[in-house]
Amino acid sequence: MDLQPRLVTVRSPKQPLGAVVVLHGGGARAEAVPVSATQLSVLRMVPIARRIALTRGLAVFRLLNSQRGWGAGDTSVGDARWALSQVRERYGDVPVVLVGHSLGGRAALLASTEPDVVGAVLLNAYLLPGDDAVDPHGRRLLFVHGTDDRVASFARAEAAATRIGRRTDVGFLTVNGGKHAMLRHGPVFEGAAAGFAAGVLRGDEVGGPVGRILAGESPVVV
């Protein structure tokens, strides 16, 4: 069984101002199972990647992990680091923002300390005890979390954001009524990821709740 990560190009300008790598989630599995391009956790990130790709000058990629879930080790973090190496090989030292959902949000957080990463968006991040010990000093992080998420703990994400915020710039966007799959409030999650990437990588003036967060207000509730 060939369990290798794959990087899907969404947009690839010749000389990008920055790059965004979009990381999917997936339920934990004891056995190694390959990722399918049609599984829901992967498809869930397609509109988010496309929304980000509307911003001119940004290279956008979707990572398909080497296996579903977390497996026996932190495979999703290793896959994210592999994706960053691929971006570096293609473009050199361009700044990168990671955008991840669920376990992909956890991978984005843990890989945010990597060279070239300047920021990360954690969408309904599924965090484990001890994850808030990471020190992404100098990076900008945005947590976006639904209050009705029954899979990834809102309280744990909120507490982690507070602790990590003592070491670096962290914003927290609360989505009232938002659930784990991001379906009902999809445009809020998509817009937050795209706005944050544009603001951090291009220096764009961003409106709405993300603009308020980038200006220093946090938490913000929508």
Q: 56 in a domain, yes or no? A: yes
Tell me the whole-structure pTM to 2 decimals: 0.96
Q: Is there a domain that residue 50 lies in?
A: yes
Dist. CA 26–CA 159, nearest whole Å: 23
Q: List C-alpha distances in Å: 90 to 7, 21, 59, 99, 112.
A: 12, 13, 11, 19, 19
pLDDT at 124: 98
The pLDDT, as a whole number, for residue 27 is 72
CA distance 200 to 214: 8
Among 99, 92, 104, residue whose Cα is nearest residue 5 = 104
Task: Give the total number of structural domains in the chain.
Answer: 1
CATH number at residue 194: 3.40.50.1820
Q: Where are the alpha helices (DSSP H) in the chain?
A: 40-43, 46-53, 75-91, 103-110, 154-164, 186-197, 208-214
d(CA 13, CA 28): 35
CB 201 within 8 A of CB 58: yes
What's at 111, amino acid-wise?
Answer: A
Task: Report if residue 197 sits inside a domain.
Answer: yes
Structural domain contains residue 1:
no
Residue 199 belongs to domain spanning: 6-221
One-letter amino acid for residue 85 of the chain: S
Tell me the torsion sign for CA atoms 62, 63, 68, 74: negative
pLDDT at residue 72 in the model: 52
pLDDT of amino acid 3: 81
Encode the chain (222 residues) as per-residue pLDDT tens digits.
Answer: 568 999 999 999 999 999 999 999 987 666 778 888 889 999 999 999 999 999 999 999 999 998 877 655 677 899 999 999 999 999 999 999 999 999 999 999 999 999 999 999 999 999 999 999 999 999 999 999 999 999 999 999 999 999 999 999 999 999 999 999 999 999 999 999 999 999 999 999 999 999 999 999 999 999
Q: Determine the pLDDT at residue 145.
A: 98
Strand order in the sheet with 140-146: 6-11, 58-64, 18-23, 96-101, 117-123, 140-146, 169-175, 220-221
**Residue 45 belongs to a domain:** yes
Is 65 part of a structural domain of the chain?
yes
Give a yes or no: residue 74 inside a domain: yes
Q: Which candidate, 176, 178, 159, 171, places its Cα nearest to that of 212?
A: 171
Tell me the backbone φ, ψ of residue 166, rounded to 5 degrees: -80, -15
Q: Which helix (H) or strand (E) holds 141?
A: strand 140-146
